[in-house]
Amino acid sequence: MMTPYNYPHRKLHHLFNYHALPLTTIPVENSVWGFSEEGAGTFVNCYKRYLRAKEYCIHPFDKFKTASGVIRTIHSKGERISANFVESFDELKRTPRASFLINKDSSELSEIPDKAIDFVITDPPYFDNIHYSELSNFFYVWLNCILENKYFKVESVPTQNEVIVNEGMNKSHNIYQSLLTSIFKECHRVLRDDGNLIFTFHHTKWHAWWAILSAAADGGFVIIDDFPVMSEYKVNPHLRKKQGLDMDMVPVCRKKSSMPKGQSTLLDSILGKTIDRLPAYSRSRTRNRLFLYFMGEVIKSASSSSQQKDITYEWFSKTLSHFDEIAKDIVSQTKDEITKGSDTMQLKISDY
């Protein structure tokens, strides 16, 4: 009853085609084991997919399109995607191509010494967009019935320390921010002084970005760079009809203590600095991309401000409130540039 049928394309989808539990209006019965090459989400097709993935790991390659439109496959010589699994951090340092896996709360990683890591690359939960534990419970309750494993000792997925905004669990945005801060503090502890914390995020709610900015700052970081990347399909259930972003921002953070002195930004100049830089991004001419560029400039400048005690949500929301008008002006002026063949654009903070 939960397997949906894609009527326009005359095929079914497996249940988790999107990372959500959408209401299925046209349910179909799937053939679990599969029939020939037909169907989606069958055992046969999934097994073949894993085989192709393992073959790729053994012989990785890249594809590119030539100027004549021919797609070429180039195999990487001498490369292999694999690792030697080890049981400790000391063994990790001694073993070539090693991988040390830890399955636990990332706000407490006692297995990793202070200042031992070059990069922390992570993907925090997207505020209230995806309810991860509720989705994973679908698998957990079945696995719990058949596996004798320490990770399945409780009846359902533990949610006490889940970093998420979820009214049904009484998880507010303040709890989200507090839990994320504790994780960023642990990232700060294990990172070298010249190391980077890099993560992805997207949301349209200002409170979500405020939580990210506050958690990074309280965790001891300055956001030094950011760039947008394509991410979600707009048709995903958690984005549909929510003015959701189809792009992620990738912030790059450094420890505050490692940043040079005398480069902090004053609050009253942040909006002006942001407006000055936005025209350089105007060629994208998509609202989502402009929003991420605008947000990126604001959180970069705010995280390095010398007036941290004055950075409140009221200031943050007031600064962001100018976005719609600025974006409209940029799009309008860009159209004028195209018409007139001009390469210049002027935006003044006094206009806002």
| 54: number of Cβ within 10 Å | 11
* Phi/psi-derived region of residue 25, left when phi > 0, alpha when psi is between -120 and 50, beta in every other case: alpha
Spatial CA neighbour of 177 closest among 220, 208, 133, 131? 208
Return the minimum-mean-pLDDT range out of 5-19, 38-52, 308-322.
5-19
Query: Can you say whether the dihedral through the CA atoms of 169, 320, 220, 212 is positive or negative?
Result: positive
Q: How far apart are CA 274 and CA 278, in angstroms?
A: 6
Half-sphere exposure of 275 (CA within 13 A, CB side): 22
pLDDT attached to residue 157: 84
**Confidence grade of residue 285 (pLDDT, cut at 50, 70, 90):** low
Are 165 and 205 within 8 A, CB to CB? no
**Domain ranges in the chain?**
113-259, 263-352
C-alpha distances (whole Å) from 22 to each of 14, 27, 112, 224 are 12, 11, 40, 38
Return the minimum-mean-pLDDT range out of 89-93, 236-240, 297-301.
236-240
pTM: 0.78
Return the minimum-mean-pLDDT range out of 77-81, 201-205, 342-346.
342-346
Q: How far apart are CA 112 and CA 123, in angstroms?
A: 19
Dihedral (C-alpha) 82, 83, 85, 88: value to the nearest 10 degrees?
Answer: -150
Q: pLDDT: is 45 or 216 the higher one?
A: 216
Counting every residue written for the chain, the total comes to: 352
Mean pLDDT of the chain: 80
For the segment 297-322, the average pLDDT, to the nearest whole number, is 82
**Confidence grade of residue 59 (pLDDT, cut at 50, 70, 90):** very high
Q: What is the pLDDT of residues 5-41, one digit of tens each?
A: 877 877 777 776 666 677 777 788 877 787 777 767 7
